[in-house]
Every structure is written in C-alpha cells, then in structure tokens.
C-alpha cells in the first residue's frame, strides 16, 4: 500500500499540470488552505531536479501573492480572519495579535515565514494588526523565497541520495515521518 501511494505521488509530481497545481496550493496555503506547498514541492523537485529552482520560484511568487490575500482577510475582513485563526487553534483575539506585532514587528514575519508554522497565521495576523504592508511584502519575499529556495537547493543537491535511502526503507521512513508530523502538530498546539 505504501509503495502504491509513494509511486502515485511521484506520478502526480511529473504530471503536466503539476506546476499550476503547485502554484494554486502555494497561494491558498498562505491565506486559508491547511496543507503546506512542501508536500508537492519536494516530490516535484525529486522527480525533476533540473527544475528545482523554477519550482521554488513558482512557490515563492504564489505564496507571496497568497500572503497578500491573507493580509487582506485580516485587514478588511476582521471577523473572517479571526474565525480562520480560531479554526487553526489561535483564538487569542485581535488585541493579542496587535500587541504581538507592536512588540516584535518584522521579526514575527521573518522568523515565522521560514518555519513550518502555517504562514496563513502570519499573513492574517499581519492584516489584523494593520502591520506595515510594504514591510510585510518585503519580509514575505525574503522569508518565503529563502525557505523554498533552500529546500530546492537541499533536495537538488542531496535529494537523489535521500530518495534512494527512503526507497530502501519506505515503511521505516513513513513511520518516522508520521511520528515527526504528529510531534510537530503537538508542539505547535502547545506553543
């Protein structure tokens, strides 16, 4: 079963509509969608390493554009933005987000944009806090580009060797990945 799922992911990564789908997921993840683009980006880079930086560029551009939508949701549609954040487990309220950005400002975007913490939290919270839009955009380009291009570089450089190890021990790596994912979700919820 794992092997079929694994092969299916790589078939999708090679599909002619994979790049537009990657752009759509990257855009949506920055404002409302729960799945990060890395789930598509990594297999696409591993399937076609020569296009690694093209895929990273697509992810970056789409993510920054989606971040604009997330910012707009927080800024113009406060109730919708707060509802999305509550749904994601961050019901701290509008005053909390404004205080957060007043204290940390640009660092919130720079640090959170590089991490696996859902970027939509940063984009919507930036809009809720009425954080400077030009600074938000510049930080988004730096952090999202940094994250996706670093991922592309790592996978292009060492991806095939990692892929060979994963294929040898697919069940072990799947179990390890699942444990890490659950641990990450628990850690994010506790923070």
What does the pLDDT look like over 37-73, one tens digit per residue? 888 898 899 889 999 999 999 999 999 999 999 999 9
Residue ranges of domains in the chain? 2-190
pLDDT at 8: 65
Q: Which two tokens stand for residue 61?
A: 């551009």
Q: Which residue has the higher pLDDT, 38 or 102?
A: 38
The percent of residues above 70 in pLDDT, for the chain, comes to 82
pLDDT at 6: 56
pLDDT at 134: 96
């Amino acid at each position: 079963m794992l092997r079929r799922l694994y092969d299916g992911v790589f078939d999708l990564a090679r599909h002619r509509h994979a790049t537009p789908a990657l752009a759509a997921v990257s855009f949506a993840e920055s404002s409302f969608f729960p799945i990060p683009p890395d789930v598509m980006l990594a297999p696409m880079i591993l399937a076609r390493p020569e296009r690694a930086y093209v895929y990273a560029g697509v992810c970056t551009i789409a993510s920054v554009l989606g971040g604009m939508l997330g910012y707009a949701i927080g800024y113009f549609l406060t109730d919708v933005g707060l509802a999305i954040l509550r749904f994601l487990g961050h019901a701290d309220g509008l005053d909390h987000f404004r205080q957060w950005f007043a204290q940390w400002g640009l660092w919130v975007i720079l640090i959170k944009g590089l991490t696996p913490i859902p970027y939509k939290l940063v984009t919507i919270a930036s809009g809720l806090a009425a954080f400077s839009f030009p600074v938000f955009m510049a930080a988004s380009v730096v952090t999202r580009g940094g994250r996706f291009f670093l991922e592309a570089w790592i996978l292009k450089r060492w991806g095939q060797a990692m892929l060979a190890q994963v294929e040898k021990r697919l069940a072990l790596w799947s179990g390890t990945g699942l444990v890490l994912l659950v641990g990450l979700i628990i850690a994010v919820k506790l923070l």
